[in-house]
């Protein structure tokens, strides 16, 4: 299995396609759209959770890990989906949420009844002697990370919503449940697993107060036992299949840890998601702020991770978008004046890097943040809490709304735009989240008149045929250039090289060519302006607005 040749597509089932018009996307809807998916030639699809869940956090609060939630379909639908995707050579990656489970899960319900076995599945603690909560930790969705445990004098830990109780990984029974679940789905033909916030499972048994928010994260992030338990999970489940593909979602992690999690000799994971490149538009490390993105920082972060992971034999999941992020095109591109060119530039930048690229549904047609005019259009628990907190902190409703507009996770969760009709062809019922801008941006229009989709097809094809892309090392170039992100890919065993130039702006910067490549003959591997195939490299090149061009030597 060659990780470097794979491309993974992400589907948020709730928003892909609604087959029975109840306003919620479903598995049969995905089956109906397989012909569309087949056009892209991707290798695997990561599905966000569709297990039984009360949906307080859109399925990341799992009440039954072994059943499909009826709103998404049945086990039969799932089996059919897996087999029909096999027919087009696409494997399935499921989302395993093991840091926490829903408080409606039978484990938690049994615990509430006083069943000792299950009480030990969770972090239950007494209040401090002075009556304060067991620790001063904050939930990532706002408010304290502790909630009263039934009628007892205990509290349970929840790093996310209070409906998501953290699981106690020190308990071998909990770890056994996790490997049983993975093996259950493996038996159904599932080859890929994405592990939700996996580096948070290693909280200490002895929980203590933090002194500040940064130190607080360190108390429960990337602790040494995380690796120990990943190794165990690997041995007892997916590691038994040499063709499995795994990715750990790693909150606030480091390059050093990510190398350990992914280097093949460690038998942990195939790759990790890290998020530092998506924080370059945060003010003071705070998501709920507004700031134009810092291009120099973006370049530095991406280059540092590429170089570090390459040198340490680690492997990265490459992504701009997912169901938790506002659209990259709205953040780092120009959706008004150069929607197509900037979408293609972002795609090129990412797809020619070292790692395994992920495409989030809708990215391939250049979807952008929706234009909502009221806070009532938003539904995500995280952003609604943040809205309240911003108002409590003294922001006006208008200011708070503008922040939500650029940062809410609902931005990317908007239903896929299939056509220009009222609900974007997603449903004839009332969509659970409202689409906007579908008259211009939709699949039908894109396939007929657009250029982004075909450009993605080209990038995917190139990764499969070009060793420089799938296996090459990474070297950053022109790190000081204020508009252009440039890098080189090269191999140990040949003199072939790739030089990739990406203009992140709507004007036309001059770009110096590294001296060792000047005067050499190069072929143009890909160019979103489609210039000629073969050139002799000049000393410098003037790039067009949002142009991306890759030269092969």
Name the residues annotated as catalytic: 196, 249
Q: In whole angstroms, how large is the CA radius of gyration of the chain? A: 23
Beta-bridge partner residues of 521: 536
Q: Which does 24 bind (CB under 5 to 8 A by kind): ligand GLC, Ca ion, none?
A: Ca ion
* Paired tokens of 346: 């972002």
To ligand GLC, the closest distance from the beta carbon of 161 in angstroms equals 8
Residue-wise over 521-539: b if at least 16 C-beta within 10 A, else e? Answer: ebeebbbbeeeeeeeebee
Q: How many CB atoms lie within 10 A of CB 6?
A: 22
Beta carbons within 8 Å of 263's beta carbon, 6+ residues apart? 312, 313, 314, 315
Q: Which stretch binds Ca ion (CB under 5 A): 12-20, 355-363, 367-375, 540-548?
A: 12-20
* DSSP code for 535: E
Q: Which residue is nearest to ligand GLC (CB)?
A: 60
175 binding partner (options Ca ion, ligand GLC, none; Cβ < 5 to 8 Å by kind): none
Shortest Cβ 410–ligand GLC spacing (Å):
11
Least distance between ligand GLC and beta carbon 158 (Å): 10
* Residue matched to tokens 């259009």: 377
Burial tier of 315 (Cβ tally within 10 Å: 0-12, 13-18, 19+): buried
Which of the listed partners (ligand GLC, Ca ion, none) does 516 bind, with a CB threshold of 5 to 8 Å by partner kind? none
Can residue 97 be called a binding residue for ligand GLC (CB under 6 A)?
A: yes
Considering only 166, 196, 281, 344, the residue that binds ligand GLC (CB under 6 A) is: 196
The whole-angstrom separation of Cα 470 and Cα 354 is 7
Query: What is the token pair recorded at 430?
Result: 């009332």
Compose the 269-308 pattern: x for residues touching ligand GLC by CB under 6 A, - for all others.
Answer: ----------------------------------------
The CB-of-275 to ligand GLC minimum distance in angstroms stands at 9
Q: Which stretch binds Ca ion (CB under 5 A): 15-23, 38-46, 146-154, 333-341?
A: 15-23
Q: How far is CA 74 from CA 93, 184, 236, 242, 511, in A?
A: 18, 16, 27, 29, 55
d(CA 284, CA 180): 42
Spatial distance between the Cα atoms of 47 and 97, rounded to a whole number of angstroms = 12
Which part of the chain contacts Ca ion (CB under 5 A), choosing from 26-34, 269-277, 304-312, 328-336?
26-34
Q: Which does 222 bind (CB under 5 to 8 A by kind): ligand GLC, Ca ion, none?
A: none
Nearer Cβ to Ca ion, position 20 or 406?
20
Q: Provide the mask over 447-486, with x wherever binding to ligand GLC is found by CB under 6 A and - wherever it is not.
A: ----------------------------------------
Report CA-CA distances (Å) from 532 to 456, 503, 527, 544, 548. 20, 18, 9, 14, 14
The option from Ca ion, ligand GLC, none interacting with 197 (CB < 5 to 8 A, set by class) reads ligand GLC
Half-sphere exposure of 405 (CA within 13 A, CB side): 13
Question: Which of 17, 18, 111, 361: binder of Ca ion (CB under 5 A)?
Answer: 18
Beta bridge partners of 484: 503
Task: Find which of Ca ion, ligand GLC, none residue 22 binds, CB within 5 to 8 Å per kind.
Answer: Ca ion
For the bound state, the minimum distance from the C-beta of residue 60 to ligand GLC, rounded and expressed in Å, comes to 3
Q: Which residues are near Ca ion by CB under 5 A?
A: 18, 20, 22, 24, 26
Q: Which residues are near ligand GLC by CB under 6 A?
A: 57, 60, 97, 160, 196-197, 249, 323-324
């Amino acid at each position: 299995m060659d990780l470097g040749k794979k491309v993974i597509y992400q589907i948020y089932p709730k928003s892909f396609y609604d087959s029975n018009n109840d306003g919620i996307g479903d598995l049969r809807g995905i089956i109906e759209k397989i012909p569309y998916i087949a056009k892209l030639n991707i290798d695997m699809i990561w599905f966000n959770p569709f297990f039984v869940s009360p949906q307080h956090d859109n399925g990341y609060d799992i009440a039954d890990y072994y059943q499909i939630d009826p709103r998404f379909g049945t086990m039969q639908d799932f089996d059919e989906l897996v087999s029909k995707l096999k027919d087009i050579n696409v494997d399935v990656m499921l989302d395993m949420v093991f840091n926490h489970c829903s408080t409606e899960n039978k484990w938690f319900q049994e615990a509430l009844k006083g069943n000792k076995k299950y009480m030990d599945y969770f972090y239950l603690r007494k209040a401090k002697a002075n009556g304060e909560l067991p620790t001063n930790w904050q939930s990532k969705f706002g408010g304290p990370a502790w909630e009263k445990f039934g009628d007892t004098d205990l509290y349970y830990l929840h790093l996310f919503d209070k409906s998501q109780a953290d699981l106690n990984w020190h308990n071998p029974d909990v770890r056994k449940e996790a490997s049983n679940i993975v093996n259950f789905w493996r038996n159904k033909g599932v080859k890929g697993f994405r592990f939700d916030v996996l580096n948070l499972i290693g909280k200490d048994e002895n929980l203590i107060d933090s002194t500040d928010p940064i130190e607080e994260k360190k108390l429960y992030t990337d602790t040494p036992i995380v690796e120990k338990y990943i190794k165990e999970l690997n041995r007892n489940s997916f590691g038994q299949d040499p063709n499995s593909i795994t990715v750990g979602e790693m909150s606030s992690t480091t390059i050093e840890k990510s190398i350990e999690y992914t280097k093949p000799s460690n038998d942990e994971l195939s790759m990790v998601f890290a998020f530092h490149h998506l924080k370059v538009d945060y003010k003071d490390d705070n998501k709920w702020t507004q700031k134009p993105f810092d291009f120099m920082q973006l370049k530095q972060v991406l280059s540092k991770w590429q170089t570090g992971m390459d040198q340490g034999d680690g492997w990265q999941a490459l992504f701009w978008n997912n169901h938790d992020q506002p659209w990259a095109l709205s953040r780092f591109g120009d959706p008004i004046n150069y929607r197509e060119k900037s979408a293609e530039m972002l795609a090129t930048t990412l797809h020619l890097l070292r790692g395994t690229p992920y495409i989030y549904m809708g990215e391939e047609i250049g979807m952008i943040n929706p234009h909502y005019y009221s806070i009532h259009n938003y539904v995500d628990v995280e952003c609604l809490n943040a809205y309240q907190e911003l108002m409590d902190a003294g922001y006006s409703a208008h200011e708070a709304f503008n922040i939500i507009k650029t940062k809410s996770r609902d931005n990317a969760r908007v239903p896929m735009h299939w056509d220009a009709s009222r609900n974007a062809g997603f449903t004839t019922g009332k969509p659970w989240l409202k689409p906007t801008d579908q008259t211009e941006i939709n699949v039908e229009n894109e396939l007929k008149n657009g250029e982004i989709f075909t450009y993605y097809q080209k990038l995917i094809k190139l990764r499969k045929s070009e060793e420089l892309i799938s296996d090459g090392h990474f070297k950053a170039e022109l790190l000081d250039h204020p508009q252009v992100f440039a890098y080189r890919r090269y191999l140990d065993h040949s003199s072939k090289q790739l030089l990739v130039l990406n203009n992140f702006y709507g004007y036309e910067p001059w770009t110096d060519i590294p001296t060792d490549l000047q005067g050499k003959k190069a072929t143009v591997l890909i160019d979103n302006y489609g210039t000629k195939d073969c050139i002799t490299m000049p000393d410098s090149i003037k790039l067009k607005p949002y142009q991306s061009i890759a030269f092969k030597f």
